[in-house]
């Protein structure tokens, strides 16, 4: 009886936890791996994504001026690509979440 109890305790100690993903990505990272493949524009919206987990999140609008040099054809292409991705809540690095809000 005492032998069985000690074995159960040993098994209980084997439980491992998945490490929580962290990220250094300023505009957030994939909630599964903390990474970002960068962003594409759809009009003036900037969408970041993780190709490995097919996740996407919107960083905002008109933060980067590059979208002005693009065109509807490219945005349509980006829309099709992002349609396969799931919109998620990204994770942010500790330093980013503690950042002072921009006035
Ligand atoms: Zn990912």
Q: Ligand 1 mean position to 90 CA, how many Å? A: 10
Give me ligand 1 centre to Cα 34, in Å: 6
In a domain, residue 101? The reply is: no
pTM above threshold 0.85: no
Strand pairing partners for 60? 46
| Domain assignment present for 79 | yes
Ligand 1 centre to CA of 18 (Å) is 15
Q: Tell me how many domains the chain contains.
A: 1
**Residue range of the domain that includes 48:** 28-95
- The answer to the question of residue 35 being in a domain is yes
Asked whether residue 2 is domain-assigned, the answer is no
Question: Does residue 6 form part of some domain?
Answer: no
Residue 72 Cα to ligand 1 midpoint, Å, equals: 28
Torsion angle in degrees (nearest 10) through CA of 27, 70, 84, 33: -20
16-46 pLDDT tens trace = 666 778 888 999 999 999 999 999 999 999 9
State in Å, rounded, how far the first CA of the chain is from the last one. 66
* Within a domain: 77: yes
Would you tell me how many other CB atoms lie within 10 Å of the CB of residue 67?
19
Express each pLDDT in 61-86 by its tens digit. 999 999 999 999 999 999 999 999 99
Report if residue 20 sits inside a domain.
no
What's the CA-to-centroid distance between 70 and ligand 1, angstroms? 27
């Amino acid at each position: 009886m005492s032998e069985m109890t000690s074995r159960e305790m040993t098994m209980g100690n084997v439980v491992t936890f998945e490490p929580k993903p962290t990220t250094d990505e300023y505009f957030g990272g994939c909630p599964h791996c903390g990474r970002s493949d960068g962003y594409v524009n759809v009009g003036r919206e900037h969408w970041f994504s993780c190709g490995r987990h097919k996740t996407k999140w919107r960083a905002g609008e008109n933060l980067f001026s590059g979208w002005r040099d693009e065109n509807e054809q490219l945005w349509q292409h980006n829309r099709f690509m992002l349609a396969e991705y799931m919109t998620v809540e990204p994770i942010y690095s500790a330093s980013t979440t503690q950042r002072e809000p921009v006035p």
